[in-house]
Structure 1
Amino acid sequence: MVKTLYLMRHGRTRFNEQKRIQGACDSPLTDEGISQAKAAAAYFEAHQLVFDEVYSSTQERACDTAELASGRTDYIRLKGLKEQDFGAFEGQQEYLNPPLQGDIGYGHYFVTYGGESYMDVRLRMDQTIRGVLDQTKAETILMVSHGAAMAQFSRHVIENFPKVRMTNCGILKFNYDGTDFDLLAVIDPLNHKIIYQKE
């Protein structure tokens, strides 16, 4: 059975506004972030999307987004969907981040400071998402996660992943056949735009 996964980033947070590094640490959704999650809900309703199951990272910003976007409280929280841990850089200003290293993000940089490497995140996300999809009988699933974690997962399972930036509440739509992930679309639900669509 082919399953459809909607993998969505959380709404805008206080640390997003303050341009702080936000991985393992957390901050609440702002009013704008709440509005974004509600706009995602409106997008789902307009496209008659009903999710058989909803999952979220254990972090508050993702949980709140999942509830607002899906209208449900019976979602399942999974630590494996959490954001990359940036170690001692958590909560610091974003200008302290090292340069990105192409498709591997920050590489192994944060390991020295008690954080996760890009491969740690890829394997964690892959194991978590496949674990759910392989066991569930649900056909249409929403998972709410985080920007860096989603980027690492996508580059792990998709060759030549399109050069797109995940906005708050941005969505990656995949099909999963039990072995491979197929990226169907990158969606901006706030503006009802398809940023990328498979030909």
Structure 2
Amino acid sequence: MTTTLYIVRHGQTEWNVAHRMQGHQDSPLTPLGVEQAVRLGEALRNERIDAFYASPSSRACRTAELIRGIRAADVVTAEALKEIGLGIWEGLAQSEVEARFPEQFGRFWNDPEAFGVSGSETFADVAARAVRQVNRILDEHRGRSILIVTHTVVVKLVMAYFEGRAMKDIWQPPYIHPSCLSKIVIGEGRSDIVLHGDMSHFADESRLLGTD
């Protein structure tokens, strides 16, 4: 008996385009973000998906709803799937964060285990809550197929868990584009990563990659 887990990053948002730090704050999908999610939904139209989960952030919920399409399953939200809380960085332009907090900005990208600013979570905090939630979902849906829509840091940390990748290396490729797809097939005593940050559902249309 195998369980199939799909993990998706939400579609492009207005703050992605503006290069603002989102974290627990939110901004809506852009028209391109909607198109990205719809395109992925079309690619998965004939795949069996028994359950849909998402971060409660509207950008993730909306992406999940668009991928779900006409399937009868509800989108279940889970707080543990939210993006890393970025505290005082949230809502700031990335360029402003880099200028005002150069040491912590460097740690975020190059030494994530040492990252922390006022009001933020640590990467270890996020890994613990997200992996615990994913394992809970897998236990509840053994032998079925599940799709989770979440955020960049959560995707990176959950995939690192399945890969056995050290936290210091989580920003190594693949890049996690909006609406990219990862797929893990889980059987007795093993997990096989079939896709990781896959973008083939965009059929080489570079415009659909959008802006991070």
TM bucket, shorter chain: 0.7 to 0.9
Q: Matched residues in 1 for 2:2 and 2:40: separation?
A: 24
Q: Matched residues in 2 for 1:44 and 1:61: separation?
A: 19
**Cα pair distance change 1:102/1:8, threshold 3 Å:** same
Please state how far the C-alpha of 1:139 moved relative to its aligned partner.
1.2
- State the AA in 2 paired with 1:67: E
Query: Is 1:184 the equivalent of 2:197?
Result: no
Is contact 2:107–2:115 with CA below 8 Å preserved after alignment?
Answer: no
Please state how far the C-alpha of 1:148 moved relative to its aligned partner.
1.2
- State the AA in 1 paired with 2:50: D
1:63 to 42, 61, 64: 61
Q: Percent sequence identity over matched residues?
A: 28
Structure-1 residue corresponding to 2:135: 130
Q: Matched residues in 2 for 1:179 and 1:118: separation?
A: 27
Q: Matched residues in 1 for 2:136 and 2:110: separation?
A: 24
Name the SS for the 2:28 alignment partner: coil
Structure 1, residues 78-128: CA drift from partner, whole Å, max 9, x if none? 111111111110011112251256686x33423x31111111111111100
Give the TM-score, by structure 1 length: 0.86
Is contact 2:2–2:142 with CA below 8 Å preserved after alignment?
Answer: no
Structure 1, residues 44-92: CA drift from partner, whole Å, max 9, x if none? 12xx212011111111000000000111561111111111111110011
5+ long unaligned stretches in structure 1 = 194-199
Please state how far the C-alpha of 1:172 moved relative to its aligned partner.
0.9
Q: Which of these two proteins has the greater Rg computed from alpha carbons?
A: 2
Name the SS for the 1:113 alignment partner: coil
**Cα pair distance change 1:172/1:147, threshold 3 Å:** same
Structure-2 residue corresponding to 1:171: 181
Please state how far the C-alpha of 1:151 moved relative to its aligned partner.
0.5
Structure-2 residue corresponding to 1:6: 6
Q: Matched residues in 2 for 1:169 and 1:116: separation?
A: 24
Query: Is 1:107 the equivalent of 2:107?
Result: no
* Count of residues paired in the alignment: 189
Greater displacement, 117-126 / 92-101: 92-101
Is contact 2:108–2:115 with CA below 8 Å preserved after alignment?
Answer: no
Alignment of 1:1-199 (within 5 A): 1-45=1-45, 48-71=46-69, 72=71, 74-95=74-95, 96-97=97-98, 98-99=105-106, 106-110=112-116, 112-137=117-142, 139-160=144-165, 163-177=173-187, 180-186=190-196, 187-192=198-203
After superposing on structure 2, the runs of 4+ consecutive aligned residues of structure 1 that deviate more than 3 Å are 100-104, 178-181
- State the AA in 2 paired with 1:107: E
C-alpha RMSD of matched pairs (Å): 2.1
- State the AA in 2 paired with 1:8: V
Name the SS for the 2:64 alignment partner: helix
5+ long unaligned stretches in structure 2 = 99-104, 205-212
Structure 1, residues 123-176: CA drift from partner, whole Å, max 9, x if none? 111100000101224511111001111102212331357720010000111112
Q: Matched residues in 1 for 2:143 and 2:82: separation?
A: 22
Q: Matched residues in 2 for 1:38 and 1:79: separation?
A: 24
Structure 1, residues 12-70: CA drift from partner, whole Å, max 9, x if none? 0010011000110000001111111111111112xx21201111111100000000011
